[in-house]
Structure 1
Amino acid sequence: MENLKQYIFQYNRPNDSKVRLLIAGFCILVINLLGYFTGNYHINAVSSLGVFTFLHYTPNEGSRILKRMTFVGICLLSGYMLGMLSTVYILMGPIIIALVGLVSRLLFRLFDIDKPGDLFVILCSAVGASRPVSLSEIPELSLLFIFGVVLSLIMGYVALKIEGAPKQSLSFNLNLRERVRNNPRAMVDSVSYAITLFFASYINLAIGLDQKSWLIVSAAAILQGNTLLQMYGRNFQRIIGTSLGLIVAILLMFIPFTIEARIALIVIVYVIVEYFMPRNYSIGIFFVTNMVMLQTTLTDPSIWPSIAHSRFFGIVIGSLIGAASAFIQYRLFDFYSQTIINERTYSPDNFKEHIDPNHSL
């Protein structure tokens, strides 16, 4: 319990890139201004999802920064398009999200793409599946998404030049069989992750939150931790940060901001989120909640009660589902490892082919 409390209130001091923070804010500013001046607020909603590509910019990746971002951008777009396609039949949503979770989790683990990991892929897939989309709308929405990805890659290249990163390598070495052999737990972990997302998606439908993606995303966010302690800690941090964030966000809803002022606030809060998220998850989620409320009510502030209700219950229920899944997964790993030790089923002799010496071919 003491370790959990220490983890919840721990304040990290990562060696973060100031250039990354400023360019992330610039990307979201461009997206929102473009939507504002064209009067097409789909740009604000959809292209901002593509900008998640830039959030995987990490200077310590050296020569593979652009390769990592390109891979992430492809995964984000694929998840979003599959999410939209799943709306053709409502019960396909949980199946598609589970499959996206399985593949993205496995690939991100095998190729060592760490925080924020596959979380944004699940978010994009869940958002794509959150409202019915006709087949004729998919190309237009996909192009808006691609714009966000391309903007991220361009600004990622600019950041590389500013920070003097090494020459980038864009060659891919898949070799999935060898990677799975070297990291077999990634497969087991991915299957468990997919089952959790499948269950969370159906719960989301059952309680009427299918138009919002927060329950699914919260379950996925909790399972991004590498240890049970981290997952439990993220569970408490997410609930605390959301609860306090909603109080402030609701107060903000009573202030008659102009759209221009809201866009300015969104950009400022976006940069603050990126600053605090690696330092303390509770503080990061606090500002995420305010940013989401401002972004989703940009053109119609009167819908905030519905947004606040859905976000609170979605995050609380999703976080609890994620924590319960983590507990079950770790207990099963523990039971299985004890079974192997007790029954000695790990002995190499059990895997040797027994040949009768008297038997002739």
Structure 2
Amino acid sequence: MAVFVHFVEKEEPEIIEEKNLFQRIFEDPGVFLDGIFYSATLFLAVYLSSGLQLRNPYWMVVSCAAILQGDNLRAIMQRNVQRILGTIIGIGIAALLLNASLTTLETIFFIIILFTISQISVRSNYALSAFFTTPMALLLSTLTKDQSVPTLLQYRFIGIALGALLGASSALLITTGLRFYNRSFHLHENFDKDPD
């Protein structure tokens, strides 16, 4: 797959300048706030998914982490909607595949195809990628243990929807909080210059 992607991808790889840890922190001091924010949100996702006794609790955590990968609040909100809508359509595709009584070899073949399509489409359209990620994840779940299809589809939707909503809500909360904090303490001022 790596060789295939190497020949399909036409973009030149971006060369990243090597910097030590202190240079990176100096250039982006917000990394500490981001780290605290992400870890607290993901801890809450793990706590809620375990407390709600979801069948596959990691679905909620992965969904929450995927939503938080957006570059800004607008991108996070778009990912939230796209992930939930993509999951709904993906559940429909998964229902067809799960009721088709596939052999183990056929299931593995479909997982490979779905993964490939998902990875190719993720850069151009996040929602389209979710169409194929959901059936892939559900087919993987059926390989490990025999599960009831309606229950599996239901838990997948609940996990993805709750994770996406938690990620979007926490991003909105931290963005709004930081905006008020910046306005309250005038953090937009430049402290490098001497006052007149």
What's the counterpart of residue 199 of structure 1? 44
Q: CA deviation at 1:303?
A: 3.6
* 348 and 265 in structure 1: CA distance in 2 versus 1, 3 angstrom threshold: closer
What's the counterpart of residue 276 of structure 1? 121
Which among 175, 178, 186 is matched to residue 330 of structure 1?
175
2:13 equivalent to 1:60:
yes
What's the counterpart of residue 78 of structure 1? none
2:173 equivalent to 1:220:
no
Question: Secondary structure in 2 aligned to 1:250?
Answer: helix
* 177 and 342 in structure 1: CA distance in 2 versus 1, 3 angstrom threshold: closer
Q: CA deviation at 1:340?
A: 2.7
* 179 and 264 in structure 1: CA distance in 2 versus 1, 3 angstrom threshold: same
Q: CA deviation at 1:310?
A: 1.8
What's the counterpart of residue 182 of structure 1? 27
Q: CA deviation at 1:59?
A: 5.4
What's the counterpart of residue 308 of structure 1? 153
* 284 and 189 in structure 1: CA distance in 2 versus 1, 3 angstrom threshold: same
CA contact (8 A) 1:21 1:274 kept: no
CA distance in 2, matches of 1:224, 1:342: 25
> Partner letter of residue 330 of structure 1?
T
Q: CA deviation at 1:185?
A: 1.3
Question: Secondary structure in 1 aligned to 2:57?
Answer: coil
CA contact (8 A) 2:50 2:57 kept: no
Which among 61, 78, 100 is matched to residue 233 of structure 1?
78
CA distance in 1, matches of 2:135, 2:56: 19
What's the counterpart of residue 4 of structure 2? 19
The CA deviation string for residues 60-86 of structure 1, in whole angstroms up to 9 with x for no partner, is 145x7xxxxxxxxxxxxxxxxxxxxxx
Task: Name the structure, 1 or 2, with higher relative contact order (CA <8 Å, separation 6+).
Answer: 2
CA RMSD after TM alignment: 2.9
TM-score (norm 1): 0.48
TM-score (norm 2): 0.85
> What pairs up with 1:1-361 in 2 under 5 angstroms?
19-20=4-5, 60-61=13-14, 175-209=20-54, 211-298=56-143, 300=145, 302-341=147-186, 347=191
Q: Give % identity.
A: 32
The CA deviation string for residues 148-181 of structure 1, in whole angstroms up to 9 with x for no partner, is xxxxxxxxxxxxxxxxxxxxxxxxx662122101
Structure 1 gap ranges (5+): 1-16, 24-57, 65-110, 112-172, 351-361
CA distance in 1, matches of 2:101, 2:193: 74
CA contact (8 A) 1:223 1:326 kept: yes
CA distance in 2, matches of 1:343, 1:322: 27
Question: Secondary structure in 2 aligned to 1:244?
Answer: helix
Q: CA deviation at 1:307?
A: 2.5
CA contact (8 A) 1:293 1:304 kept: no
Number of corresponding residues: 191
